[in-house]
Structure 1
Amino acid sequence: MMPALAEQEGFAAMVLRLRAEGVTSKGLLNAVEQTPRSVFAPPLYKREAMSSRMIPLECGSFMEGYDLSVRILNALNVKPGQRILEVGTGSGFTAAVMARIAERVLTIDRYRSLVAGAQRGLEELGIRNVIARQGDGSNGLIGEGTFDRILVTAAFDSLPRSYTDHLVSGGVLLLPIMVTEKECRMVRITRTGSRFEREDLFSAPYLPIVPQLAAYL
């Protein structure tokens, strides 16, 4: 873990950068501040955990830049008492932050080693309301019911119906969609009864989703 002072300075700098974009939620920022990001960063990159650059992880994955991860969480707008599904565990940082606010977080990833790394970080911070599981989330998650919020961190060519079926009325799905061959954007889907409202938000550097579990990693 980084020294506490460095974590505090990195957090304060991030807040200043994102304030101009309207990221001011006290609940979210308190949850972020309580979650040392360096816990989830690989050993070689702990000193860069508070930066806005992407950090490489195992299995060809990456940890979003600090600013982007908080911007995504702000767009998801997690509330107390909610059930959250995250498809693409990555480092485990976003699941940890969401768990500070929500009642329960289920996070899945096709790579066993990423799930194990996230679990170590969650255990180190004493976070108990996250279930981290190896799973194939490319077609939704059969048998887990519905969720108030769904966050997907791998890109699709078009909106997958399987995720919208998992949303409660009033629920929000946030996922990256390839809007051109080279541009990926975060898209927010809000369900109201049987209606779905789509908002295209901001560019994001996510990779295309890969179906099925990874055989070895």
Structure 2
Amino acid sequence: MKTAMLEREGFAALVLRLRAEGISDLDLLTAVEQTPRSRFVAPHLAEHAYSSRTIPIECGAFMEGADLAVRLIERLRVKPGHRVLEVGTGSGFMTAVLGRLSERVVSIERYRTLVTDAQARLDSFGLRNVILRHGDGAGGLPGEGTFDRIIVTAAFPAMPRAFTEQLVHNGVLLAPIMIDEDRCIMVRLTRTGSRFEREDLFEVPYLPLTPRVAAFL
């Protein structure tokens, strides 16, 4: 009962903060509500699941604050029928929300432990349109066709060309780009034919991307 109350109160507070930012998309908020964030964090951190703070997870990784996670998905503009590529599964929270909004999600993660944990959570929600891959996402997912939406949650020194080549016409890419040694900004790239429109959105707390799969975790 305590957990259920924390979920209700946490989600309600999140909705108020998001609406203050102008985010009120009903489909998005419903998908978030159907994906209880306390299921993605350690039990002793459940009270912080809907806060704006980052939350540590396994393998030295972290889970985005609730506000940032929803803001990113909103900026991605996911629609039913879209194929989505996510680089950096992490806890699997954004993966699950994306799965509720799109036709198919493929998510890549370099840590096998995170893949295993996220898969168990996705299975518990009955999400069958999400595929998790343990692999190196530095070059996207060549050989798997193109995607309507791509989101990356590890920072590059410059916009990665490999990802732009995996976008369809009118496709959208969100990727963090380093602006100095300690800061990065989320960039949205929209493809129109062979042209790309770039929008610099806001600073995000992501770390530089580490290529290759993790050796032990």
Q: Report the TM-score, using the length of structure 2 for normalisation.
A: 0.97
Residue 132 of structure 1 aligns to a residue in which SS?
Answer: strand
Q: Does 1:202 align with 2:176?
A: no
What does residue 16 of structure 2 align with?
16
Contact 1:2/1:46, CA 8 A, preserved across alignment: no
Return the offset for 1:139.
1.3
What does residue 193 of structure 2 align with?
193
Distance 1:2 1:189 in 2: 42
Q: Which sits farther off after the overlay, 176-185 or 152-161? A: 176-185
Q: Which sits farther off after the overlay, 115-124 or 36-45? A: 36-45
Distance 1:89 1:39 in 2: 15
After superposition, where does 1:31-180 map in structure 2 within 5 Å? 31-180=31-180
Contact 1:2/1:38, CA 8 A, preserved across alignment: no
What does residue 181 of structure 1 align with?
181
**Partner deviation per Cα, 1:3-40 (whole Å, 9 max, x = no partner):** 22221211111111121222111111111111111111
Q: Which sits farther off after the overlay, 68-77 or 4-13? A: 4-13
Q: Report the TM-score, using the length of structure 1 for normalisation.
A: 0.97
Structure 1 gap segments, 5+ residues each: none
What does residue 215 of structure 1 align with?
215
Return the offset for 1:182.
2.3
Q: Percent identity?
A: 63
State how many pairs are aligned: 217
**Partner deviation per Cα, 1:91-119 (whole Å, 9 max, x = no partner):** 00000001111000000100000001100
Structure 2 gap segments, 5+ residues each: none
